[in-house]
Chain A
Amino acid sequence: MPELELTVNGEIHSVDAPTGISLAELLREELGFTGTKIACNEGHCGACTVQVDGVPTLSCITLAHSVRGAVTTIEGLRDHPLVDAFVRADAVQCGFCTPGQVVSAAALVAASPEPTVEEIRHHMAGNICRCGTYPRIEEAILNWRG
């Protein structure tokens, strides 16, 4: 199996991974980063969102061997102020989509530290929450700095 070198949350990982494995599978099954969720496995729901060089990326439809940049998963964002903002705003119900929401939101606030409601809705529209926590997510991102 082709060896793969991948930087995840600032650490370099070397793995033997089969060609064709998705970044999401590699993170979850080979490296144990299970905070990244797979909910549709075809790029429609956003639950698997990670950042590659800061850009939100659907890891379930990204081939692991094609990744050139540094990967940031929810595990690398656990101390981000957004985590506390999500908890405070009750922007979580079942929590299955939530890590992906936080990863997307972290990219948004990095690019736009004081996002407008319009920006939030545009940027976050690819992250589906079936529990319907959207009003809380919006509030959490608006008040992400605490």
Chain B
Amino acid sequence: MARLIRTEKEVEGRFEEVWLVVEEDPLQQWPEGPLSVVGRPAVRQDGPQRVRGEARFTADVQLPGMLHTAILRSPHAHARVKRIDLSPALALPGVRAALGPGEAQGLADEAGFAGEPVAAVAAETYGQARAALRAIDVEWEVLEVVLDPQEAVERGLLTGEPTRYERGDFERALAEAEVVVESTYRTSVVLHNSLETHQAVCQWIGDTLEVHISTQYIWGVRDALAEKLGIPGDKVRVVCEYMGGGFGAKNDPGEYTFVAAELAKRTGRPVRCALTRREENVGAGNRNATIQKLTVGARSDGTLVALGGEFVNAIGWSGWSAPTDGPMQTLYACDNVRTVRYGAKINTPPMKAFRAPGYVEGTFGLECLLDELAAKLELDPLELRRRNHADSNDGKPYSSKNLLACYELAQKHWDRRADVRARSGTTWKHGVGMASQIWFGGGGPPSYAWTRVTSDGRVTVVTAMQDIGTGTRTAMAQIAAEELGVPLERVQVVLGDTARGPYATLSAGSSTTPSIGPAVRAAAADVKRQLIEIAAQRHHLEERVLDIRDGIVVSADGNLSQPLEELVGLLEDAQILGKGGRGPNPTGMSVLTFGIQVVEVAVDVETGEVRVERVAAAHDVGRIVNPLGARSQVEGGIVQGIGHTLSEQRLLDPETGRVLTSTLDAYRMPTIADLPEIVCEFVDRPDEHLTNLGAKGLGEPPIVPTAAAIANAIRDATGADVHELPISREELLRALREAQERAREGAKEHVGAR
């Protein structure tokens, strides 16, 4: 029987209450450890297509008669379109239609950053469209520009009310603390730079809009388009089987989709709107910069008594204020915590979610602060974390937490410190640092899957989710194969089309596997139940003695051993269909992921060059469905983390607010030459309270602690407290000078005290 309940839903650290229909009779979790298919390494089912270049991305969609779009962007960081004349553009060869401000969602008449879209042209070729942009006559009214987030906060230019949090009595606890450390940390804008830029191809077929789009959320795109265009949701079909990276920036349609839909409507032709790489680096969203003024008060044994933080998220012209304060509130046991978080609205390109938004930035600040405290107390940094381990999330129990087990796994890497430091010479100094990780990743309802068993004994899982490259298609196949008792090769997954499958949640917030996996298992269980019923009637046996193992229908006494395809083969064109949904998260519990990374670095104290030599990661994300794919997620997160820690820097012209680093030679992402040794371990213990699967997500956790662990390793190697990301040579040399001065002062004081 269907049961209607209220339950809590979380995406990227944002919570809401939702209604949910749940089925009775939940499945028991599988036992811990590798099973027949789940928990064993599986190569990607769509690996060959992707590697051989056969996978069709949105970039590869070429429809007959397709037009191409170019977007006119504001040259000013803040300006109003006083007058615009599109007619000179429309008169140029190949141009078929043009849109001005207000004619499609995302074309603004007030541009709030240099690069904000204001008009668009569709033409037979992209070159013609782009040439036509120059013919558009715009009269701008230039408005006041604010680029400094601190100034925005002082002037009250905020994206919303400040977010305040307090538990206990911070002021009193700080006054009574035996040791206090205060530091200000800054993190910079980070660009997603998915290799497939943001793009869509739109086509109207009758009254239905068909959209091919590089997206992390086909249903979100469908619903946003339907709402803005004022048409029913089922009149929008969104397709994305393969997409070339998202990292959080492709959760919504974006102006390019609305523009393509409108131009397709006006011209009666399919229309592509694709950002260039340079546009991608300006207008496609970013991890916003932050300023974090942090305070910790502790007793001399390292017990944290007060944590305080003032966080400024430099949001840009649009975006949301991610929970930079989250790690400070949740990572450690501390009775007195006070935070305030501002979202500064400034005339810079927009913030979009980027792989653990807020927590990457907040963990850098907090975990550097903790190590500065450890240094002051002359305490082992890992021991300091152990002493402040939180047993509950501010009184709320965890659905599962194995952070101490992560620390145990990491101990052997941490114990390399003496050996690593001993490698130091006069110029190159070596050191080891660590940082803990906390983040969400429990997923939530709703999500659905259908299963189909055909009379050849093959299985199709249908769910309108997307595999953004994390390997979730393969994970879903593994879950279905495990539940059904068939070899993995027999299961295929159909995904990526809102017209051809039930709703599945977005591929963001580390939520795909924990949200959709349980629905797939339930759908497989539904079809298996029917197969057992069929076998029971066919062989005059009781259902309870029957099972399916490795594709064979077996009875408990061993007398029956019939291949599944033989059992269902008699059904010819008949199909056995199953369905399943995602149940609620456990009531009253915090569902979180945990981990630790231990980093070894070499620092050239003369030039400020930093080399990351080794990263050891231990994460707790519940059950691991595919150890092969899981390792790839960890490695990928670490590589990205190294990028925003050491080399990636988006620069703005401080006068005009224009992006100066819009090419991939200027914005320097890691290459294979920057690769450290990476060691990856998991606790791999199912979360007994979370769904029929006990699995949490892994897309985001690995990127959370990397920057802080690198910074802490630099401190271990050199004594320098770096306070900024990226850790440029200037920042490192500044920190080294400061450390030298501090050492001299310390020596003087020491002499004075004697």
Contacts and interface: CB of A to CB of B under 8 A. Distances in A.
Interface in B243-258: 243-245, 247
Interface string A111-143: 000000000111011111111111111100000
A34 B468 contact: no
B470 interface: yes
Nearest to A122: B673
Interface stretch (B41-49, B69-77, B103-111, B540-548): B41-49
B487 interface: no
Contact of A128 (B243, B637, B671, B675): B671
A29 to B, nearest CB: 7
Interface string A25-43: 0001100001111111110
B663 A42 contact: yes
A90 B195 contact: no
Contacts of B678: 135
A132 to B, nearest CB: 3
Of B54, B471, B636, most buried by chain A (CB within 10 Å of CB) is B636
A69 interface: no
A78 B675 contact: no
Nearest to B196: A96
B481 interface: no
B53 A74 contact: yes
A124 B675 CA distance: 12
A78 to B, nearest CB: 5
A93 B469 contact: yes
A86 interface: yes
B639 interface: yes
Contact of B664 (A36, A40, A90, A131): A40
A130 B51 contact: no
B52 A96 contact: no
Contacts of A75: 52-53
Chain B interface, DSSP helix/strand/loop, else mixed: loop
B669 interface: yes
A88 interface: yes
B193 interface: yes
B128 to A, nearest CB: 12
A136 B632 contact: yes
Contact of A34 (B53, B197, B276, B629): B53
Contacts of B591: none
Contacts of A96: 57, 59, 194-196, 244-245
B749 interface: no
Contacts of B665: 44
Interface string A14-57: 00000000000000110000111111111011010000000000
Interface in A70-114: 73-75, 78, 83, 86-88, 90-99, 102
* Closest 10 pairs (CB-CB, A-B): A35-B53, A95-B50, A132-B639, A94-B469, A96-B244, A132-B636, A44-B664, A99-B53, A87-B47, A74-B53
Given A78-B53, A138-B675, 17 more contacts: A29-B62, A37-B53, A37-B195, A41-B276, A91-B51, A92-B50, A94-B245, A96-B194, A99-B52, A122-B673, A125-B672, A130-B193, A130-B195, A132-B637, A133-B636, A134-B671, A134-B675
19 contacts: A35-B52, A75-B53, A87-B43, A88-B43, A90-B47, A93-B471, A93-B632, A93-B636, A94-B196, A94-B245, A95-B55, A96-B57, A96-B196, A97-B195, A128-B671, A129-B672, A133-B635, A135-B675, A138-B672
